[in-house]
Amino acid sequence: MNKKIVRWGLFILFLILALAGVSIFSLSVGTAGIGIKKVIFALFEGKNSIERSIIFDIRLPRILLGFAIGGSLALSGAILQGLFRNPLVEPYTLGISGGAALGVCLNIVLRLHNINILTLPFFGFLGAVTVIVFVYFLSMQKGVLKIQGLLLTGVMISFISSALIMLIMSISRAEDLHGIIFWIMGSLEEPNWFLIKAVFWASIFGLLVSCLFSLKLNALSLGEEEAKHLGVNVEKTKRLLFIISSLLTGFSVSVAGIIGFVGLAVPHFVRMFVGQDHRILLAGSFLAGAVFLIFCDTIARTIISPVELPVGVITGILGGSVFIYIFSKHSKA
């Protein structure tokens, strides 16, 4: 047991160091290159300077948002994969991203974001919550949350949302179409500190609450009957975990758009090193997701600088490659 705790501690320490390293790297690279020494100096310097302005007004908000959203999506993926006992489930499988995207599309087409830019994430979150409530009540039968029904309903709603989005795009004006496409591909370019702080603290709160259910998730991974025999209130636990993971996904998608593969690939990657125990898997997935998304965002804004790629493009390529590698490795084992 002591060896396991030491191994877990070393793994978390490695992820924290990786997070610090990729964050400093992200602060130092870009169109205006800033050396690592200047970055560290600017972080602790009180005087205003160009470097300090670039770091605190442009790059640091993206890092904080990448930390929160990458962590939230990976954490949500780890929770849902344990809850469904299905390694192919991810946060977007339940149709939450489709609902958020549909809300944002309606906002863009109706030009409501011209009134107040905050209406864009608000409509995204409203769409996500609508899908969460709809899927939840459709999957409830006599007080029992049917896991398979939850998954199938979510997939069907995702297809319906995609069809409605394509319908809206087909009749949209060129400028509206560009905004919809760019949002769907995902971006961490968010200057509003209120939204950044809201998502950041929501992700931290979600991590702390989900860790309280780590032992119950371990029990649920064995099956619902086994979990009941171990004294777990299965229905209450399923509902709370579904709500936690859905809200984390809803917050993330409404602010940054659809950023794929983080919630699917990262938990698999973490399992390769620490196994199935959710006591380490949840925290490890959160930190690894944060590292992965910050790194992908850094690549997205620098690889063909000064042009910025949507971060969803990079996460899709890297995440898909990692997933194929993991799948092929396990198939040969």
- Give a yes or no: residue 170 inside a domain: yes
In sequence order, the β-bridge partners of residue 288 are none
The tally of domains found in the chain comes to 1
Mean pLDDT, rounded, for 75-85: 89
Do you find a cis peptide bond into 267, omega within 30 degrees of 0?
no
Q: Which residue has the higher pLDDT, 309 or 145?
A: 309
Mean pLDDT, rounded, for 84-99: 82
Q: Which residue has the higher pLDDT, 243 or 19?
A: 19
Residues 6+ away with beta carbon under 8 Å from 137: none
Q: What is the pLDDT of residue 45?
A: 65
- Which residue type sits at 131? V
Q: What is the pLDDT of residue 39?
A: 67
- Give a yes or no: residue 33 inside a domain: no
Say if residue 253's pLDDT is above 90.
Answer: no
Q: What is the pLDDT of residue 230?
A: 81
Quote the percentage of the chain above a pLDDT of 70: 90
Q: Which residue has the higher pLDDT, 260 or 211?
A: 211
Residues 6+ away with beta carbon under 8 Å from 42: 34, 49, 51, 52, 55
Please report which helix (H) or strand (E) contains residue 113, including its range.
none
- Give a yes or no: residue 198 inside a domain: yes
Q: What is the pLDDT of residue 15?
A: 95
Q: What is the pLDDT of residue 276?
A: 87
- Give a yes or no: residue 37 inside a domain: no
Q: Which domain holds residue 130?
A: 2-14+66-332
- Give a yes or no: residue 58 inside a domain: no
Residues 6+ away with beta carbon under 8 Å from 180: 104, 105, 108, 165, 168, 169, 172
pTM of the model: 0.89
E strands present in the chain: 140-141, 144-145
Give the pLDDT band of residue 284 (cuts 50, 70, 90): very high
Q: What is the pLDDT of residue 234?
A: 83
Q: Which residue has the higher pLDDT, 237 or 174?
A: 237
pLDDT in tens, 179-210: 788 788 888 887 788 888 989 999 999 999 99
Dihedrals φ, ψ of 213, to 5°? -105, 10
Q: What is the pLDDT of residue 200?
A: 92
Q: What is the pLDDT of residue 228?
A: 85
- Cβ–Cβ < 8 Å for 290, 297: no
Q: What is the pLDDT of residue 205?
A: 94
Give the pLDDT band of residue 36 (cuts 50, 70, 90): low
Q: What is the pLDDT of residue 294?
A: 94
CATH number of the domain residue 71 falls in: 1.10.3470.10
As a whole number of angstroms, the distance between CA 79 and CA 91 comes to 9
* Number of alpha carbons in the 13 Å side-chain half-sphere of residue 179: 20
Q: What is the mean pLDDT of the chain?
A: 84
- Give a yes or no: residue 297 inside a domain: yes
Q: What is the pLDDT of residue 250?
A: 86
Nearest Cα neighbor of 115 from 124, 104, 107, 106 is 107
- Give a yes or no: residue 52 inside a domain: no
Say if residue 302's pLDDT is above 90.
Answer: no
Say if residue 331's pLDDT is above 90.
Answer: no
Nearest Cα neighbor of 72 from 209, 213, 249 is 249
Q: What is the pLDDT of residue 68?
A: 94
Mean pLDDT, rounded, for 108-137: 81
- Give a yes or no: residue 217 inside a domain: yes
Q: Which residue has the higher pLDDT, 234 or 285?
A: 285
As a whole number of angstroms, the distance between CA 83 and CA 243 comes to 12
- Which residue type sits at 245? S
Q: Is 145 helix (H, G, I), strand (E, B) or coil?
A: strand
Give the pLDDT band of residue 282 (cuts 50, 70, 90): very high
Q: What is the pLDDT of residue 82?
A: 87
